[in-house]
Amino acid sequence: MNTPNQPLPPIFDSLTMEAELEIPLEGKDFKTASGKFVKLAKHSGFCHGVKKAVDKTVNASTHNQPEDQPTYVLGQLIHNQQEIERLETLGILTVQTLEQVPDGANCVIRTHGAAPALITQAEARGIHVTDATCPDVRLVQNKAIELAKEGYTVVIVGKENHPEVIGISAFASEVAGATIVAINHPSQIAEKLASVPKRRIGVVSQTTQMEDTFFDMVKHLTMVAKELKVYNTICPATFFRQHAAADLAKQVQLMIVIGGKNSSNTTHLAALCNELGTPAIHIETAKELEGVVALQQAQIIGVTAGASTPEWLVQQVLDFLKTQ
């Protein structure tokens, strides 16, 4: 078992080239005005799936919609409020329900995916649908469907009310007779599985899940099921960001984690650093660092950002730190 406290396993070497393409800020460590040293995580900020979703949404708004009409996104495209607000200036509006999208309008499916029934309903109303579901999320959906078809009780390791988990469950639920359960912690296993078949259990993970949580869940499920089939569907971007944050946390006195407070992968990065004994400050914008005593006291500072944090927002934080 490999956790962020251990070296990267050799099997991930083939993923390194793809991950390196996501690091616009690596190698730009610097000293602040007062001589503090700021180090940047090797892997941080927008992952390939999020960047592709943002680009696809902007492109859809530019080419598929009349100039005077907005493009709608069903739920937050990504979990970063500042980027959502930037998109609003481009005429890209976030709505919570399909009823808020006018007939014939342009609608984007968020990175976390959406239930198949919603897409069918949209198309029936003449709504032009652009699917910006992350490829890694699509993989989880497909694996969950596969397990359901094979007759396994499908356990999704993740938050039951998270939009990604809701979408995964919706896809797998289309399989006749499927049983799908979302469990976010081993302590929930007994309650969540009390009334469902447990002999054959298939496991997938929310893409942004903590590695330790996922592996711990699998360990506990081996004591419940007679047959266990497991797909580790934590996405490579999450894997590399967790390891990079853990590695950097060991080298600094304070970690600054940039990203949405509602972003699972970002909150996991902050929690990971704290668990390793390095204080972490989770912020959305540079303004939250003003007057922070821990920042004033630290001489070696690490910076990382969640997979849904845009580069322009990270740069604003770095510019602030340069003045400290």
The CATH code of the domain that includes 280 is 3.40.1010.20
Of 202, 230, 258, the last residue of a domain is: 230
**Which of 41-55, 61-75, 233-247, 273-287 has the highest average model confidence (pLDDT)?**
273-287
Task: Domain of residue 129: give its range.
Answer: 49-134
pLDDT at 207: 93
Of 134, 162, 191, the last residue of a domain is: 134
Same domain, yes or no: 76 and 159: no
Same domain, yes or no: 40 and 58: no
- In tens, the pLDDT along 80-101 reads 999 999 999 999 999 999 999 9
pLDDT at 294: 95
Same domain, yes or no: 23 and 66: no
Question: CA–CA distance from 153 to each of 87, 186, 201, 223 (Å)?
Answer: 40, 16, 5, 15
Asked whether residue 1 is domain-assigned, the answer is no
Asked whether residue 242 is domain-assigned, the answer is yes
- In tens, the pLDDT along 196-243 reads 999 999 999 999 998 889 999 999 999 999 999 999 999 988 889 999
Same domain, yes or no: 152 and 220: yes
pLDDT at 218: 96
Q: Of 275 and 2, which is predicted with more confidence?
A: 275
- Percent of all residues in the chain with a pLDDT value above 70, rounded to a whole number: 90
Question: CA–CA distance from 255 to each of 41, 128, 192, 273, 280 (Å)?
Answer: 10, 43, 36, 7, 5
15, pLDDT greater than 80: no
Of 205, 230, 255, the last residue of a domain is: 230
Same domain, yes or no: 86 and 102: yes
Catalytic residue among 22, 83, 164, 284: 164
Residue matched to tokens 């709505």: 95
Asked whether residue 271 is domain-assigned, the answer is yes
Is 18 known to be catalytic?
no
Asked whether residue 55 is domain-assigned, the answer is yes
Same domain, yes or no: 173 and 213: yes
Angle at which helices 135-149 and 48-63 pack, to 10 degrees? 110
pLDDT at 13: 40
Asked whether residue 69 is domain-assigned, the answer is yes
Confidence of residue 27 (pLDDT cuts 50, 70, 90): low
pLDDT at 67: 65
1, pLDDT greater than 90: no
Same domain, yes or no: 19 and 89: no
